[in-house]
Structures are given as C-alpha cells and as structure tokens.
C-alpha cells in the first residue's frame, strides 16, 4: 500500500483539523529521516565597539564624529582616508579580483579542507592568507616583526596624527605593490614609535576586507606549548618572553568567528632549541594547510629543518612559490605528493640567485604548468611568477 493511499484512508471520516494534522504526520513519517531538518537561527556575533573603532581608524574608514571626533575631523586623517581608499580601490580591482578568481577556479578544488592555515615568514599578511584560504577557521602566522601596541587615538593630536598615517602608508608599499613584505623595510616600518608592530596592519587588513574585531589578546607560549595570556600589549612589549603573540578573534561578513594568531619570534633551529615551549606548540599542530610566499628561501637552508619538518610531516596541502620549501625536500620527505604547477619557474631574483633549483625547473618542463594570470612573490611580474600546490595523496 503506497503512502498516498494510506494518507487518503486516514483522511476519510476525520474532522478538517484532524485531517490536517494526520496528513502532516503521515507525510513526515514517509520522508527520509535526514530530510527533516530543524531550522535554527544563527545568533548574530557581537563585535567589540572600541576595537572596531580603532581598526576602522587605522584603515581610514571610520565615520566622522562618533567616538573620535578629534581624529575624524583632523585634516591628516581625512587626507589619509581619501588617498588610501583610492589606493585600496585600485588594489582591489587590479589584484584582489584576480586572486579571488584564481582561488575559485584552482585552489578550491585542490586544497584539502583543513580548518587551520599555517603561514610562517608571513609578517602581518592576513590579507593573502584569508584571500587564498577563506574556509580556514584558524590562522597561525609567524614573523620577526614585533606584535606592537594599539594606538591611543584619544591622546593623538596634530603632527603625531600626520606621522602615524605617513608611517602606516609607507609600511604598506611593498605588500600592495609586490604582494610580499620586505624584511629590511619591515625592520624600519614596524619598529618605530608610531607604528610599532604588526597589530596595526593586521587590524587594517581585517577591517578593509569587511571583518569586525571581536577581541584582541596579547599572549605568550608557556613551556608546555600552551597559550598564556598577558594583561596588556604594553606589558607584552616590555617583557623578555621568547615568544610574543596576539590572538585576534574576528567576525566575517557572513557572521562566522575566525581566529588569527600572530607570533613574533625567530624560528631558526638554534633559536627553537632554546624555545621548547614554541617547539612543542608547533609539534602539537595537527590537520593543517600551509602557505609560503616571499619566504626568503629560508626553508632551503639546513638550519631551518625544524619548521620545514613540521610542515612536511603535518600539512595536508602546501601552497607556495619557489621561495618556500626546496623541491628536493619534498622528494626526500617520504610522503607521496601530488603537484599542480602554475606560472613559470625562472631563475630567482639576483638577491637570491644561489637558490635556483634545477630539479624544480625540470619538474616544470616535464609536467607543464597552468598560466597564473597575476604576479606574486619575488618574481612578481606576471610572466615570471610561479606557484605550486603540493597535496598529500
């Protein structure tokens, strides 16, 4: 007897109200269990008004008046807001659109769906990390640049506002023009009294890409590899901790909470040997993807073996330009990798001319590659850029 005949028989002789109720129950019972889904409203994630205001002031998008009328009414702020908004609009249309197209066409189908992205030698580059890995729920970034302290816009006035935005502008030149931060420039741009660390640029990129700040906590890593929060960014800056970091929770435009962790330290082998806590933190990472760009070819060196082994032993997918892990280490890793190549592999720029990889050149010639369509990494000119996706089989 079909479910429809059962329904007809049940309806016979029943009151209209009972007919309606029984009809609903019969149809419900006849449906597969997994097709009956309860719609649950997702609560709106609340952001921190004070932190959001600071992020928007750094990004030049804060509305006139409100909490900071002295800043938003200042000519130096309005000049920065107007000029950087134009600069960002040009960057958005010229580069972000191409990166997003590449992500949707190529990366989405190649990258294993891990919730954590590990991005060493990143500096404050949450911009590319979030663009290329939008599904990631946690980002772990590492750089030599200090965390810094949040600007006190309540006390800012006159020339100090001008100096702040001038320094902020200059710190963004390389990433917006070339796609990577220059280590030498970062030593100057993020270590001064106005812009004293990465938190300024982390807040700027998060705000400019439509995210809201939920919290920002200074932290270190204890001897067991666990996070230990510090009471203030000023205390963190003055401390002698071997690892200094910040955990930023942010709300995405589609109402998701993500976690950004930035750690300031040197991850060369000899430094990690004396930093057992962070070495343990790294060894505890499981199920992650890795991104490497503009990494100064450090992972080619024998004395960066600890971080290199963490990646090769634990990453599901590695997306990198040729400045990341040398191809020979993939071959020696004992892992069966599947490679997808993009762009063209040419000799590195003169600064890194000794980092040429003959075996990677041969791989490109044997396998062939897909056009990239945009510049990235040290060889940022479109025809010279390369990108490799190595996926664990």
- Percent of the chain having pLDDT more than 90? 69
156 Cβ contact list (under 8 Å, min separation 6): 70, 71, 164
Predicted model pTM: 0.86
Across 247-259, average pLDDT: 97
Angstrom distance (rounded) from CA 241 to CA 181: 25
Angstrom distance (rounded) from CA 127 to CA 250: 13
Beta strands (DSSP E) in the chain are 116-119, 138-143, 212-221, 227-229, 244-251, 257-264, 288-292, 315-320, 337-343, 386-392
With a cut of 70, say whether residue 23 has pLDDT above it: no
With a cut of 80, say whether residue 274 has pLDDT above it: yes
Angstrom distance (rounded) from CA 316 to CA 210: 29
Query: Two tokens at 385?
Result: 């850029």
Q: What is the pLDDT of residue 5?
A: 39
Half-sphere exposure of 263 (CA within 13 A, CB side): 26
Choose between 212 and 31: higher pLDDT: 212
Q: Are 102 and 224 in contact (CB under 8 A)?
A: no
Give per-residue pLDDT as tens, 332-366.
999 999 999 999 999 999 999 999 999 999 999 99
Question: What string of DSSP letters covers 20-54?
Answer: HHHHHHHHHHHS-GGG-----PPPPPPP-HHHHHH
Q: What is the pLDDT of residue 99?
A: 92
Using alpha carbons, list the distances in angstroms from residue 32 to 4, 6, 22, 27, 36: 15, 17, 18, 10, 7
With a cut of 60, say whether residue 1 has pLDDT above it: no
Give me the torsion for CA of 388, 105, 258, 248, rounded to 10°: 50
Q: What is the pLDDT of residue 61?
A: 94
**Helices 199-208 and 158-171, packing angle to 10 deg:** 80
With a cut of 90, say whether residue 296 has pLDDT above it: yes
Q: Are strands 212-221 and 244-251 parallel, antiparallel or unpaired?
A: antiparallel
Handedness of CA 295, 308, 239, 152 (dihedral sign): positive
Q: What is the pLDDT of residue 38?
A: 52
With a cut of 70, say whether residue 37 has pLDDT above it: no
DSSP-assigned letter for residue 258 = E
Q: What is the pLDDT of residue 94?
A: 80
With a cut of 60, say whether residue 136 has pLDDT above it: yes
């Amino acid at each position: 007897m079909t479910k429809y005949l059962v329904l007809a028989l049940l309806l016979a002789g029943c009151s209209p109200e009972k007919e309606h109720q029984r009809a609903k129950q019969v149809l419900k019972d006849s449906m597969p269990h997994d097709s009956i889904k309860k719609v649950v409203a997702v609560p709106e994630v609340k952001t921190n008004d004070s932190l959001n205001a600071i992020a928007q002031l750094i990004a030049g998008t804060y509305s006139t008046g409100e909490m900071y009328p002295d800043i938003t009414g200042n000519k130096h702020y309005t000049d920065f807001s107007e000029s950087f908004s134009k600069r960002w609009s040009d960057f958005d249309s010229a580069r972000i659109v191409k990166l997003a197209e590449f992500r949707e066409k190529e990366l989405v189908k190649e990258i294993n769906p891990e919730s954590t992205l590990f991005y060493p030698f990143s500096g404050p580059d949450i911009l590319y990390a979030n663009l290329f890995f939008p599904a990631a729920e946690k980002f772990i970034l590492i750089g030599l640049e200090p965390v810094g302290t949040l600007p006190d816009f309540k006390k800012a006035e006159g020339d100090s506002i001008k100096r702040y935005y001038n320094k902020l502008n200059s710190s963004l030149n390389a990433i917006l023009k070339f796609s990577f931060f220059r280590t030498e420039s970062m030593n100057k741009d993020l270590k001064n009294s106005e812009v004293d660390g990465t938190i300024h640029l982390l807040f700027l990129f998060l705000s400019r890409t439509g995210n809201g700040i939920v919290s920002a906590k200074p932290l270190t890593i204890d001897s067991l590899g666990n996070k230990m929060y510090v009471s203030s960014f000023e205390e963190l800056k003055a401390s002698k901790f071997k690892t200094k970091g910040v955990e930023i929770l942010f709300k995405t435009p589609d109402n998701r909470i993500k976690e950004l962790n930035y750690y300031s330290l040197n991850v060369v082998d000899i430094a990690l040997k004396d930093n057992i806590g962070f070495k343990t933190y790294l060894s505890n990472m499981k199920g992650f993807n890795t991104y490497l760009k503009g990494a100064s070819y450090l992972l080619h060196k024998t004395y960066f073996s600890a971080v290199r082994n963490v990646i090769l032993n634990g990453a599901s997918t590695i997306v990198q330009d040729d400045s990341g892990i040398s191809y020979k280490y993939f071959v020696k890793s004992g892992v069966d990798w599947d490679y997808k190549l993009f762009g063209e592999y040419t000799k590195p720029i003169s600064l890194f001319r000794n980092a040429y990889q003959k075996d990677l050149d041969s791989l490109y010639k044997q396998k062939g590659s897909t056009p990239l369509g945009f510049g990235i990494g040290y060889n940022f000119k479109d025809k010279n850029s390369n990108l490799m996706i190595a996926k664990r089989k």
